Chain A
């Protein structure tokens, strides 16, 4: 496949720093997000080490708060979101038969902002941890509620604000790129309703990003002016209201959780049909369900704040709307199960991860349904039950779908099959430990253990010991993935992958050679 473009490809560091190639930028995103996943995981290990036994052992409470805050921020903005953007970069042009993303230079910029954004955020943690006397890193929780982050925010809050602005700019540019690519660069014959579901879910995600990332930018800008320029958006003394902050934050925050899960739905909808050797059941209903979830996500935000004191009508409205989301989500789960029904199933690693996703994500969805019931939420609010809920949907949901995606497309990216042995070890080890880690949190939460505290009452001790064992086990398990990736990406060791890779795979990405050459679809394929 020697083509006339090859001599344009720069080498060395210039290839990566100046890259405008969707595959290289995709790889940068994926490696960056994996690095952030490990850093965020390390912070979680500090949290779990402190919580292994009651009483204070490892860190002081203020540092513990910095850990919960930065763990959340790094995992949400550094690990999950860039991982899906990386996947979009790699796969969307291949799936729709486009030669590259529509805006390659903006693509470069939107990636290279990220390392700076996180250097600022992580820098404040390092300064706090290793510079005695320095102000603490952000310590107000990833939701940075005012007045904790305004009146009482440490000096590093301004680093945090700048960092969030940069992340927001990066996400918005990434979203614009996806929308323009999908709208304008599809191969001839690829109508909207012929697009792979991963492309659909990402298109809808990109619209969500365009709608809510500017709201997040607005929120942190208001914080900045409240802190330094004399405004009082969130300061009661000047006529503002801290509850307003919660409304603005969750107006961003709830669509944000769908930003993190919709691409996961797309991944699973690509993998399950392949290994069931059947087309996806209910394709059109999947598209409509995704769009409904996205629309509903704008009218449910106040279910995060049932306890602020809302009128009954408001609580009922947000409760019913939240419950309504389980209908399109249920449609999706039903469709995945129906796709597997009477299929010729095989259980290669991507399929194992996808099935684990369906089951564990559904558990997280069910606890979410419990949390949507207003009177019950009054008890669950800010307890470990909430922590269990969102880790089931984000870790065994979004992150597991990323693992599924990596095992599914790795042979296409690298040209070699992943190491099956260490891949299996990674899967089983993660599957067992993730449940040991997060399932008992339901129990301690229902029993009344609040989240975000460095210490707890004695009766929670045994469960917390097991949770910490699960946490360390899950953390170590990810090193197996690191090895699998190093072996496939850098050592290029492994069984040679065919172009089709998987017997039942369907889609344009499987028509290009493995590994996918630097330039693909210079002449658009024709889709029938």
Chain B
């Protein structure tokens, strides 16, 4: 085989392989949205709805035959100096019943801060049936120095929730996002 013919063939192979490398690098990034899409589609990962449900399905019936115990667990992430607790540790609800619960937060520091609560729910198969119409976790929670606040959360259980689910534990972890929120404000102000 002539030298230059070989190098032409080689160059073509290298180009193809480099394209594969770049695609696989992109694929690693594509895995992130893919992961959330799969979790959302299969209702796994304990993720509850991240935007409020604005309309309760018409003709939703309260299922008086059964009830589910919903427990609340709260935690402040490491380095988050806020007190954070549910005002009721647990409630018993019928599927289809709309329920409101409250959480109390207190900023223990002498500085204005912004927090963000992240929910997680077990068992995972109950997550798609746990519908929040209002939740503090949909927004950031700014709190002035030494400030205290009661944060509401309103939810219902979709009557289609499997009968095997008798207890649901909803956990919230509160993170300090003061820095990030401040950076976001600056960006917002710069925008036209």
Contacts and interface: CB of A to CB of B under 8 A. Distances in A.
Contacts of A180: 10, 13-14, 17
A276 B125 CA distance: 57
Interface residues of B, number: 37
A310 B10 CA distance: 45
A148 interface: no
A219 B45 CA distance: 20
A211 B173 CA distance: 36
Interface in B2-46: 6, 9-10, 13-14, 17-18, 20-29, 31-32, 35-36, 42, 44-46
B32 to A, nearest CB: 6
A184 B31 CA distance: 33
Interface string A206-247: 000011111111110010000000100100111101011001
A211 B32 contact: no
A162 B76 CA distance: 33
B118 interface: yes
18 contacts: A176-B21, A184-B13, A214-B21, A215-B25, A215-B27, A217-B25, A218-B29, A218-B31, A222-B32, A236-B118, A236-B173, A237-B116, A237-B175, A237-B180, A244-B31, A247-B35, A251-B31, A314-B44
Contacts of B36: 241
Contact of B17 (A179, A185, A216, A241): A179
Interface in A171-213: 172, 175-176, 179-180, 183-185, 210-213
B4 to A, nearest CB: 13
A219 B28 contact: yes
A230 B183 contact: yes
Interface of B: 6, 9-10, 13-14, 17-18, 20-29, 31-32, 35-36, 42, 44-46, 77, 116, 118, 122, 124-125, 173, 175-177, 180, 183
B180 A238 contact: yes
A237 B31 contact: no
A248 B118 CA distance: 22
Contacts of A133: none
B186 to A, nearest CB: 12
B32 A244 contact: yes
B45 A243 contact: yes
A132 interface: no
**Dominant secondary structure at the B interface:** helix
A176 B14 contact: yes
B177 A237 contact: yes
Contacts of A230: 180, 183
A131 interface: no
A309 interface: yes
B20 A211 contact: yes
Contacts of A309: 46, 122, 124
B24 A212 contact: yes
- Which 4 pairs show the lowest CB-CB distances between chains A and B? A218-B28, A237-B175, A214-B24, A214-B25
Nearest to A176: B17
A210 B28 CA distance: 13
B44 A311 contact: yes
A384 to B, nearest CB: 29
Nearest to B22: A214
A210 B10 contact: no
A213 to B, nearest CB: 8
A183 B27 contact: no
B46 A248 contact: no
Nearest to A231: B32
Contact of B42 (A213, A238, A248, A311): A311
A222 B9 CA distance: 35
Query: Which of A236, A243, A310 has the most chain B CB atoms closer than 10 A to its own CB?
Result: A236
Contacts of B42: 311
Contact of A233 (B22, B32, B176, B180): B32
A312 to B, nearest CB: 9
Given A212-B24, A237-B77, A248 B124 contact: no
A210 B177 contact: no
Contact of B45 (A172, A215, A241): A241
Given A184-B10, A217-B25, A310-B44, A236 B35 contact: no
A469 interface: no
Given A180-B14, A218-B25, 11 more contacts: A185-B6, A210-B17, A210-B21, A213-B24, A214-B22, A217-B25, A218-B28, A230-B180, A241-B45, A244-B31, A314-B44
Contacts of A239: 118
